[in-house]
Amino acid sequence: MGYVAIKGGEKAIDGAADALEALRGGGQPSGPDPLSLDAIEHQLRLLTSRIMSEGGLYHPKLAALAIKQMQGDTLEAGFALRAYRSTRPRLLETPPQDTGQMRLIRRISSAFKDIPGGQMLGPTHDYALRLMRFELAEESPEPFRKMAAQFLQNAPTDTLPDSFPKVLDALRKEGLLPPKPAHRNPAFDITRDPLIFPVSRSAALATMARAETGSMLAIAYSNMRGYGDVHPTVAELRVGYLPVMLPHPVTGELTEAGEVLMTECEVIAMYEPDDTDTGKDAAPEFTLGYGACFGHNETKAISMAILDRALQKGMHDGPANASEDPEFVLMHIDGVDSMGFANHYKMPHYVTFQSDMDRLRATRSKHQERGQDQQEVSHESEL
């Protein structure tokens, strides 16, 4: 009787790493130059955005490196960034930041034709025709490098304010929205505490802010299509650079430490019959959903805002749909968790499968015995 060798794992792993690296090289000696991080960060800026938000770390250079290293796999790149982040200590608790101070590159409202400060379409694919631009296939570097400078030359600088008022503030003034809560609970840090249900809205928002875009879109879309009824109106969607205000190490005074590119979305949903929160006699108000993430990622911010609204409803009334169930939504939107587990099925499962076969063989032999018994019984009755 033969047997198999029990060595070889280490060699196999080394070989796999070499093969992976060879493919990163493009396979041909006359192939293209290695990707520069600068090219990834700027020319694949939406990909970089996505990796930063799913990795939960604002670091465009490291995000670009992760994209390069993982050969463009968004899940792997987000994962690498997250694993790097998890080795860093938490230095301080960030105070709440004021997105009203964002230096905007884009802001729109679908609720009002005109908004204080005006609609500003900015860089978006929304109204671009998705026709292949074949001239990009062979681009000469000269005009390519001049594009940004030319654009800025022609842009009116003097008429643009530094920041824009928030659309929601106007609605709040009219009393159509609930006022901002006077008391703010401390933020829930999902990197330091596990989710134990029921969880706070803060924990839900933090989980969604670094969730995988596609996973969140899928669940939000289920709500949009009818497994739920948020029916959102985008009060405001803004993209821009948020000044990060941190306490000064010496004086404790809030000081601008830098800025981060962010996407923020606020949706308004139809009002709920008011019951417990503000008393029976209070006038009905619109409800809100909030979404925000690192980088420029509008699909994610909108999905998050819709899910925030759906989850608030679920937390209040009990979930009527999957998208309103905090445990269902929050436990299934993390890219690191879900892709890790999907891929773990490729690992050896010899022992468990041996055990599975044992059970199947045992039940089959019982099944056979039972069949024979039944046959005997039926023979007897025929006689």
Partner 1 sequence: MNPNYKLPAAQDSYSFGFLDEFAKREIRRVILKAISIPGYQTPYASREMPMGRGFGTGGLQLTLAMIGPDDTLKVIDQGSDDSVNAVNLRKFAELTCPGVSTTESTADASLIQTRHRVPETALREDQVLNLQVPYPDPLVIVEPSEARRKVMHGEGDYARLLTKLYEDLVQFDEITISHRYPTRVNGHYVIDPSPIPRYDVPRLHQAKALMLFGAGREKKIYAVPPYTDAEPLVFDDIPFRTENFHTADGKRRPCARCGATDSFLDELNLETGGKAWQCSDTDYCNRQLAAANDREVTP
Is 286 a residue that touches partner 1 (CB under 8 A)? no
DSSP 260-299: EEEEEEEEEE------SSS-TTSPP--EEEEEEEESS-HH
Closest by CA position to 296, among listed 366, 213, 355, 220: 213
Q: Using an 8 Å Cβ cutoff, are 239 and 263 in contact?
A: yes
Least distance between partner 1 and beta carbon 265 (Å): 23
Query: Closer to partner 1 at the Cβ: 159 or 354?
Result: 354
Is 359 a residue that touches partner 1 (CB under 8 A)? yes
Is 197 a residue that touches partner 1 (CB under 8 A)? yes
| Cα→Cα distances 212→188, 304, 305, 330, 347, Å | 19, 11, 14, 11, 23
Q: In the set 30, 87, 153, 154, which binds partner 1 (CB under 8 A)?
A: 87
From the CB of residue 89, how many other CB atoms can be counted at a distance below 10 Å? 4
* Gap between the Cα atoms of 362 and 369, Å rounded: 11
Q: Are strands 254-269 and 287-294 parallel, antiparallel or unpaired?
A: antiparallel
Query: Closer to partner 1 at the Cβ: 189 or 277?
Result: 189
Is 373 a residue that touches partner 1 (CB under 8 A)? no
Closest by CA position to 166, among listed 115, 225, 213: 115
Rounded to the nearest 10°, the torsion over CA 126, 132, 137, 139 is -50
Residues 305-344 that bind partner 1 (CB under 8 A): 327, 331, 336-337, 339-344
Query: Closer to partner 1 at the Cβ: 216 or 305?
Result: 216
Query: Closer to partner 1 at the Cβ: 116 or 340?
Result: 340
Q: In the set 37, 105, 187, 315, which binds partner 1 (CB under 8 A)?
A: 37
The two three-digit tokens of residue 204, written as one number = 């839900």
Least distance between partner 1 and beta carbon 40 (Å): 12
Is 7 a residue that touches partner 1 (CB under 8 A)? yes
DSSP 111-131: S-SS-TT--B--S-STTS---
* Gap between the Cα atoms of 120 and 155, Å rounded: 13
Please report how many Cα atoms fall inside a 13 Å half-sphere around the Cα of residue 341, on the Cβ side: 7
Instruction: Give Rg (Cα) of the chain.
Output: 27
Is 69 a residue that touches partner 1 (CB under 8 A)? no
Is 123 a residue that touches partner 1 (CB under 8 A)? no
Q: In the set 44, 51, 65, 265, which binds partner 1 (CB under 8 A)?
A: 65
Query: Closer to partner 1 at the Cβ: 84 or 112?
Result: 84
Q: In the set 71, 86, 150, 374, which binds partner 1 (CB under 8 A)?
A: 86
- Classify 107 as helix, strand or coil: strand
Is 253 a residue that touches partner 1 (CB under 8 A)? no
Least distance between partner 1 and beta carbon 89 (Å): 5
- Part of the chain binding partner 1 (CB under 8 A), chosen from 58-66, 139-147, 227-235, 248-256: 58-66
Least distance between partner 1 and beta carbon 11 (Å): 9
Q: Using an 8 Å Cβ cutoff, are 63 and 51 in contact?
A: yes
Least distance between partner 1 and beta carbon 358 (Å): 4
* Gap between the Cα atoms of 58 and 60, Å rounded: 6
Is 113 a residue that touches partner 1 (CB under 8 A)? no
Least distance between partner 1 and beta carbon 15 (Å): 11
Query: Closer to partner 1 at the Cβ: 37 or 105?
Result: 37
Q: In the set 256, 358, 373, 376, which binds partner 1 (CB under 8 A)?
A: 358
Is 195 a residue that touches partner 1 (CB under 8 A)? yes
* Gap between the Cα atoms of 283 and 176, Å rounded: 9
Is the backbone peptide bond immediately before 60 cis, with ω within 30 degrees of 0? no
* Binding region for partner 1 (CB under 8 A): 1-4, 6-10, 12-13, 37, 60-62, 65, 79-80, 82-83, 85-90, 191-198, 258, 327, 331, 336-337, 339-345, 347-352, 354-359, 361-363, 366-367, 370
